[in-house]
Structure 1
Amino acid sequence: MRIGAHVREDDDPIGAGEALGADVVQLFLTDPQKWNKVTEHPRAEQIRASPIDVVVHSSYVINVASLNNRIRIPSRNAVAQQAKAAADLGAIGLVVHGGHVRDGEDPAEGFANWRKLFERQADKGGFEVPILIENTAGGDAAMARHFDDIARLWDAVGDFGAGFCLDTCHAWAGGEELVGVVERIKAITGRIDLVHLNNSRDEFNSARDRHANLADGTIDAEVLAAVVVAAQAPVILETPADGVAEDLAYLREAVGDA
């Protein structure tokens, strides 16, 4: 089991990972709040040569499900560009949020837009790294908040080999219990490729995406550790930076050789 964290030092992700003793790091390859194109990472050679695994998180502005052409089309392009850049670094996957349609719009069209993303890329030979769709915390029109919606999403994209990233804070804030969550998700997707292990600053079903350190939030830390043991997938902590080292130490002790 490989355990690590999202590193804020995007200019030197491997150095940050080494300082933490991480087995895997997650990073952005461009400003996550903008539509900037990806350029070659200044430490690409070091990243490719390192024994530390790398996961790339796509930009937050991406919304593949959107019915707005001005959002959906740039989103498709950005996923393809960032997947290629991730592959160039030897990354194990590209995490992409499930996205949403607007209130009053038909969610079925959002699921169909996800399928079109994979269909269009399949015509070009497919994505160069696995696309790991992440569950999200809020929004009644979200594609991947509630597990019944994730089932609809998987009906649309599962046959393209889409991967799944389980975020514990998002599931909790989205109103999904964490006890037994791994079995429930695997019954839908058949897989969990990555765990974003985060506690939550807010209560169950709050729809608020605010992460907390493992010992400080509203989720029992032992429940979080149990998710890791059950998932048997690489783990990325996205907890507040000041406590990440302590979170890593707690998690390693809690899961042991599981």
Structure 2
Amino acid sequence: MCIGAHVDPGDPLAEAHARDAAVVQFFLADPQGWKDPAPRADAEQIKASDVQVFVHAPYVINVATTNNRIRIPSRKLLLSHANAAATVGASGLIVHGGHMLKDDDLSTGFDNWRKTFAYAAEQGGFATQVLIENTASGDKACARRFDALARLWDAVGEFGVGFCLDTCHAHAGGEDLIDIVDRVMAITGRIDLIHANGSRDGFDSGRDRHDNLQSGMIDPKLVVAAIRASGAPAVVETPGGAEGQSRDIAYLRSELAD
């Protein structure tokens, strides 16, 4: 199994070495900002390395919303990050499923997702495969509850979109981790990446606060089971820097070796 971590973008290969990580995920720009990624001097070095790379899109992106001031820039920024992610050889670009305003019809959000892929196609397509990630909160979220996820996939599945399963988000979002891979696969037919995270909060709390795997409110063996069942690479997005994440990576490797 390919196990690694979300790391600081300054020198992702050095961060991978510090954690003995086979895969890394990082941001290419401010996760809370709207700026396009700047070219990286180390792009070719990252692309040529043996470390598998994933890029996480900024949190501000919400292509589902009816708010034009957010939705339209979100489409453009997602396309820009996909182009930049290709320059470092990323296997996927992870983006949150997005949400609607409280009085909106959720079906509009699914249609806006479909229009996002149509917009990208007009620009030549996404240079890096987009992986939609399940989210932890929001009554009008497109990818929190799996009934909504199924409707989202009905709208975008034809575009070859991938899926990223976050264990903390599922737990906090009210989806049991027992047999979760089977339930996701029945909807999406694929899991391309696991975000292997513990949770500081209880089931269905709606709170996205990650914890290390051997602490918190999630049985870590359920996280291990999800990775094993999916066969997908996994990254920990857990606290504690290199030391804390190294412990989580070592735990996963030990459990998955059994």
Q: How does 1:191-210 map to 2 (within 5 A)?
A: 191-210=190-209
DSSP-derived class of the 2:91 partner = coil
1:227-246 to 2 correspondences below 5 Å = 227-242=226-241, 243-246=244-247
The answer for unaligned runs of 5 or more in structure 2 is none
Q: 2:4: which partner in 1?
A: 4
- 1:29 is matched with which residue? 28
CA contact (8 A) 2:133 2:165 kept: yes
TM-superposed deviation, 1:199? 0.5
Give the corresponding residue for 1:76.
75
Runs of 4+ more than 4 Å apart: none
DSSP-derived class of the 2:165 partner: strand
Aligned partner letter, 2:247 = E
User: Structure 1 CA distance, aligned partners of 2:240 and 2:127?
Assistant: 31
Native 8 Å contact 1:11 1:42 kept in 2: no
Counterpart residue number, 1:144? 143
For residue 24 of structure 2, give the secondary structure of its aligned residue in structure 1: strand
Deviation at 1:162, TM superposition (A): 0.6
Matched AA of 2:125: G
Once residues 42 and 17 of structure 2 are traced to their aligned partners in structure 1, the CA distance between those partners, rounded to angstroms, is 14
Farther off after superposition, 104-113 or 234-243 = 234-243
8 Å Cα contact 2:44-2:87 kept in structure 1: no
Aligned match of 1:175: 174
Alignment of 1:60-209 (within 5 A): 60-209=59-208
Q: Is the 8 A contact 1:11 1:43 kept in 2?
A: no
CA contact (8 A) 1:170 1:209 kept: yes
Residue type of the alignment partner of 1:206? S
Task: Name the residue aligned to 2:255.
Answer: 254
Residue range with higher mean Cα deviation, 121-130 or 71-80: 121-130
Structure 1 segments unaligned to the other structure (5+ residues): none
Residue 125 of structure 1: how far off its partner (Å)? 2.8
Question: Which amino acid is the alignment partner of residue 22 of structure 2?
Answer: D
Report the TM-score, using the length of structure 1 for normalisation: 0.97
- Kept in 1, the 8 Å contact 2:7–2:24? The answer is yes
Other-structure match for 1:224: 223
Equivalent position amino acid for 1:244 in 2: Q
Deviation at 1:37, TM superposition (A): 1.4
Q: Deviations over 1:97-127 (max 9, x none)?
A: 0000110111111110000001121233321
Q: Report how many residues are paired.
A: 256
Secondary structure of 2:185's partner? Answer: helix
**What's the CA shift for 1:49?**
1.5
User: In structure 1, how many angstroms separate the alpha carbons of the residues matched to 2:125 and 2:159?
Assistant: 9
Task: In structure 1, give the amino acid aligned to 2:79.
Answer: A
* 1:13–1:25 CA contact under 8 A, matched in 2: yes
Inter-partner Cα distance in structure 2 for 1:21 and 1:63: 33
1:249 corresponds to which letter in structure 2? A
Deviates more, 1:203-212 or 1:233-242: 233-242
Q: Give the whole-Å Cα distance in 2 for the aligned partners of 1:42 and 1:75.
A: 26
Aligned equivalent of 2:211: 212
Q: CA deviation at 1:152?
A: 0.4
Q: Distance in 2 between matches of 1:241 and 1:97?
A: 23
AA in 1 matched with 2:245: V
Q: C-alpha separation between the residues in 2 aligned to 1:245 and 1:71?
A: 37
